[in-house]
A and B are shown apart, each in its own frame.
Chain A
């Protein structure tokens, strides 16, 4: 079993839809949870960053972490064609030497 599992996709939605992206993980030591967005032929860019359980909202994006269920989600409201990209969840333990463990990513396409 991989440490981080992400819904494989791809996912295609109409403009304006609410998008829900999810990851599950098996390592209870993970404390920091992130969502990266990667446009085609570009490097991943940090979208959302959450420490421990709870919700975090930033504009149209909401990140949720449920450590008891080992489950994280990213919600995108009023999705736009510019949101079309690959979304990767990532997580890490605490500490200076902690590496990021990524999900495989899901490709989202928002149709105009």
Chain B
């Protein structure tokens, strides 16, 4: 168990809908990352938050947004869903202590499997 929790485990919805995925990082970790994993693209970085602020953006669509709350949990919002958004969505967290070897390790949650019908 990595200490990162994600809810829900599974989500089935229809095209055009909006969903919210939730992530609680490991205790003490200030940084949260979101990834999308699909069969054809593999694991793709979406976005990173550090202590409530956006730090880096990857291949995140404009229909997707995220935020990190004062208690450090994070939510990923996916709107106007399309069939191609069906994937596993992972959250990871790290302590992000720069300068220490091994300090940038990211610990992944169990993921949310999104199915868009």
Task: Tally chain A residues at the interface, Cβ within 8 Å.
Answer: 24
Residues of A within 8 Å of B45, CB to CB, are 99-101
Say which one of A12-20, A42-50, A57-65, A74-82 lies at the interface with B. A42-50
Contact B56 A102, beta carbon cutoff 8 Å: no
In the assembled complex, B12 has its CB within 8 A of some CB on chain A: no
Task: Tally chain B residues at the interface, Cβ within 8 Å.
Answer: 27
Say which one of B64-72, B74-82, B107-115 lies at the interface with A. B107-115
In the assembled complex, A10 has its CB within 8 A of some CB on chain B: no
Residues of A within 8 Å of B55, CB to CB, are 96-97
A8 to chain B, nearest CB (A): 10
Find residues 79-112 in chain A having any chain B CB closer than 8 Å to their own CB.
Answer: 88, 90, 92, 95-105
In the assembled complex, A71 has its CB within 8 A of some CB on chain B: no
Q: Bound complex: CA of A90 vs CA of B110, how far in Å?
A: 18
Contact B90 A44, beta carbon cutoff 8 Å: yes
B positions within 8 Å CB-CB of A: 2, 4, 33, 41-45, 48, 50, 55-56, 58, 90, 92, 96, 98, 101-102, 104-111
